[in-house]
Structure 1
Amino acid sequence: MADDEPASEVIAALYADGWSRIVATMIRFTGGDWNLAEECAQDAFAQALRRWPEDGVPRQPLAWLTTAARNRAVDVWRRASTEAAKLRQWAAWEAKAPPPYTRDSEIPDERLELMFTCCHPALNLDAQVALTLRSLAGLSTADIARAFLVSERTMGQRIFRAKQKVAHAVIPFRVPPAHLLPDRLPAVLHVLYLIYNESYSDQEHKARLSTEAIQVARVLATLMPDEPEAQGLLALMLLQEARHAARLDGDGELVTLEHQDRSQWDRDLIGEGTAILERALRRRRAGPFQIQAAIAACHATAPRFQDTDWPQIVGLYDQLRRVLPNPMVDLNRTVALAMAQGPETALPDLDALADSGRLDGYHLLHATRADFLRRLGREDEAAKSLRTALELAPTDAERRLLERRLAESRGRTARRN
C-alpha cells in the first residue's frame, strides 16, 4: 500500500479483505464464541480508526488488527474471571495462549472453516445466508435485513438463533473430512450464488451483495484451488457481473441481453472469468457451476447478439439438465432452442413445461411464451401471456419492461387492423 494513502482508506480496504479472516481466527481463538469474536474484531477496527490517523499505518496492519482483537478477548476474559471456575479457565487458557502475531503471514487463515460452519446442513438456508453475510462478508444486521426485506429485529433474531444452534448443536468449526466434502461443498456454493442472485433485484440496497458474494467466492476459490466447482462459481459470477453496467439504461429501466450496449461490458472481468473457467474445465470434472459459466462465456464473448453460438448453448443446457435437472434449466433451454432453431421448434417444449405446473406463478415462463408467440405472428395470444406475466412480475423494473412490451404489442395489432 502507498505510504501516503489515508489511514481511513487503508482501514476500509482491510475491512473488505480482512474482516472474515480476523473473525475466523477469533472464533477459533475464543473456542467458538461467535459474538465475542465479532465484538473483538469490531473493536480492533475501531481502535485502528482512532490511532492510525495519528500514529500512522503499521507495517503489518492485518497482524496489528488481529493482535488487537486477541488482546480485547483477553481483557474480556480477565474481567469475567471473578468466579473460581472462570479463574481456573483463564489460567488454563493463559498457559496455552499463542504469542502475539508479528507478521501477516503468521496469522492462521481459517476462513474455509468459517464458510463450512456457516453453511452446515444442521442450519436452515435462511440461517446459512445470514451467518455467511454477517461473519464472512462483514455486513451489519441492518444491511442484511434491508437486502432481504425483513426488519432488523427479525434478522437479528435469525442470526442469534443460528449462532445458538452452532453452539448448542456442537457444530464443529472445521472443513469437513474428505469423505464428506463432496456432499458439503455444493451447499456452500449454493449459498454464495443465492446471495449473488439477490443483487439482481432493482432494490438499491441489494447492490452491495454482488460485491460481497464475489469477494467470498474469491476466498473460497483461493483456499480450494483443486475444486473445479469453486472455480466455476467464481467464473460464473465474474462473467455475469461483467454485464452489470449495461443492464439498465440512463433512466434506470431494464435492458434485455439482445439490446445491451456491449461496449459497456467489463472486458477485464470477462477475460478473468473465462481464464478461470478454462483452468477448471481442464480438470475434466464439469459440474453445474462450470456448465453455467460456460453458457455465460458464450454470451460474454459474442461480439454481437446475432453472433451468439446458440446451438452450443443448447448443447450446454442439455449437459446441465443431466447434472442439475430443474424447471428453470428447462425454461432457459427453450429460449436457446428458439434462438437456434426458431420459436416453432421450442414452443411445444415450453407448453409442456407450462402444463407440468412446475413453474406455476413464475412470470418469466409467460413472458417467454409471449416472445415466442410474437415471433410467430400470434399477437393476441402473445398479449394475453404478457398480461399474465405482468400480474406475476415481482419488481417495478420488470413490470415496466413488460408494460412496454404490451404497449408495443397493442401498437402492432392496431397497425395490422
Structure 2
Amino acid sequence: MSTGELAKAFLAVEPTMAQRLVRAKRKIVEAGIPYRVPPAIHLARTLVRLMRSRWDHALIAEGVATLEEALAMWRSRPYQVQAAIAACHTTVYAELARLAPSPVVDLDRAVAIAMAEGISAGLALVDELAESGRPDGYYLLPATPADLLHRKGHLTEAAAAYEEALELAPTDAERRYLKARVHSL
C-alpha cells in the first residue's frame, strides 16, 4: 500500500502520513526489532488481540447477561431480533462517537440508524456529515448514501453517488467493488 493510500485510509494528508511512517520506522530500528512484514493473517490476529485486550470484559459479560434476560422475556421472531440488533448498534455507535469521535464512526452510526429508524434518517445524518466538510475527499462519504439510496430503490441517485465514490476510492480493490455495485443497479 502506498503512502497516499495509507493517508486516505486514515483520513490524513500524505505529508503527515509520510512523517508518521518515518517516525515508526525509526522507532522500530531503535528498538532493535527485525523489520519484516508479518503475513496478513498474523497481523490481523495480532490487531484483534490488541483491540480485545482493551475491552472491559466484566462490563461485556454484564451486557450479555442483561440482553439474554431481556430476550427470555419475550417471544422471539426473526424481525424482532433484527430490530433489537439494529437498536443495539445505534446505541453502541452513539457511545463510540462520544468516546472516539471521527467521521468514520459517524458514517457507521448513520448506517446503523438507517437500519433501525429508516433509511431517510440515516441519509439525513450522512447529509449533515457531508455539510460539515469533515471527511472531505473520503470515498465512503458518497459510497454510504449510494448504498442507502440503492436499498431505498432510488437507483439513479445511487448510481451517481457510486460514481462519485469511485472517483475518490484509493485502491484498486475498492474501485473494483464500487464498479460492481454500479453495474448491479
Range into which the TM-score falls when normalised by the shorter chain: 0.5 to 0.7
Query: Cα distance, 1:281 vs. partner?
Result: 3.7
Aligned AA (2:52): L
Match of 1:279 among 57, 79, 95: 57
Match of 1:208 among 39, 54, 58: 39
Question: Are residue 138 (structure 1) and residue 34 (structure 2) matched?
Answer: yes
Q: What are the superposed Cα offsets for residues 145-179 of structure 1, whole Å, 9 maximum, x if unpaired?
A: xxxxxxxxxxxxxxxxxxxxxxxxxxxxxxxxxxx
Q: What are the superposed Cα offsets for residues 356-401 of structure 1, whole Å, 9 maximum, x if unpaired?
A: 1111111111111111111222111111000001111111111111
Unaligned runs of 5+ in 2: 1-18, 63-77
Match of 2:160 among 374, 380, 384: 384
- Match of 1:309, SS state, is helix
Question: Are residue 234 (structure 1) and residue 52 (structure 2) matched?
Answer: yes
Match of 2:112 among 327, 336, 353: 336
Q: Relative to 1, partners in 2 of residues 1:235 and 1:336: Cα closer, same or farther, differing over 3 Å?
A: farther
Q: Compute the RMSD of aligned alpha carbons.
A: 3.3
Q: Relative to 1, partners in 2 of residues 1:338 and 1:133: Cα closer, same or farther, differing over 3 Å?
A: farther
Q: Relative to 1, partners in 2 of residues 1:331 and 1:234: Cα closer, same or farther, differing over 3 Å?
A: same
Aligned AA (1:318): A
Q: Partners of 2:32 and 2:121 in 1: how far apart?
A: 46
Query: Cα distance, 1:217 vs. partner?
Result: 8.2
- TM-score of the two chains, using structure 1 as the length reference: 0.31
Query: Cα distance, 1:139 vs. partner?
Result: 2.4
Match of 1:311 among 64, 87, 93: 87
Q: What are the superposed Cα offsets for residues 132-153 of structure 1, whole Å, 9 maximum, x if unpaired?
A: 555476324xx5xxxxxxxxxx
Which aligned pairs between 1:38-53 and structure 2 lie closer than 5 A?
none
Q: Relative to 1, partners in 2 of residues 1:213 and 1:376: Cα closer, same or farther, differing over 3 Å?
A: closer
Unaligned runs of 5+ in 1: 1-123, 144-206, 219-229, 237-276, 285-303, 410-417
Query: Cα distance, 1:280 vs. partner?
Result: 6.0
Q: Partners of 1:325 and 1:396 in 2: how far apart?
A: 28
Q: Partners of 1:396 and 1:408 in 2: how far apart?
A: 18
2:173 corresponds to:
397
Question: Are residue 129 (structure 1) and residue 24 (structure 2) matched?
Answer: yes
1:106 corresponds to:
none
- Match of 2:39, SS state, is helix
Q: Partners of 1:128 and 1:356 in 2: how far apart?
A: 31
Q: Relative to 1, partners in 2 of residues 1:322 and 1:216: Cα closer, same or farther, differing over 3 Å?
A: closer
Match of 1:320 among 89, 96, 110: 96
Query: Cα distance, 1:127 vs. partner?
Result: 3.8
Query: Cα distance, 1:211 vs. partner?
Result: 2.3
Q: Relative to 1, partners in 2 of residues 1:341 and 1:279: Cα closer, same or farther, differing over 3 Å?
A: same
- Match of 1:359, SS state, is coil
Whether contact under 8 Å (1:389, 1:402) holds in the other structure is yes
Aligned residues: percent identity?
37
Query: Cα distance, 1:126 vs. partner?
Result: 2.5
1:351 corresponds to:
127
Whether contact under 8 Å (1:136, 1:216) holds in the other structure is no
Match of 2:147 among 371, 380, 398: 371
Whether contact under 8 Å (1:137, 1:216) holds in the other structure is no
Query: Cα distance, 1:215 vs. partner?
Result: 4.3
Aligned AA (1:279): H
Q: What are the superposed Cα offsets for residues 217-274 of structure 1, whole Å, 9 maximum, x if unpaired?
A: 86xxxxxxxxxxx6xx2358xxxxxxxxxxxxxxxxxxxxxxxxxxxxxxxxxxxxxx
Aligned AA (1:126): L
- TM-score of the two chains, using structure 2 as the length reference: 0.66
Aligned AA (1:364): L
Structure with greater contact order relative to length (CA < 8 Å, sep ≥ 6):
2
Q: Partners of 2:133 and 2:20 in 1: how far apart?
A: 25
Which aligned pairs between 1:5-20 and structure 2 lie closer than 5 A?
none
- Match of 1:362, SS state, is coil
Q: Partners of 2:89 and 2:142 in 1: how far apart?
A: 22
Aligned AA (1:139): Y
Q: Partners of 1:377 and 1:346 in 2: how far apart?
A: 15
Q: More helix per residue: 1 or 2?
A: 2
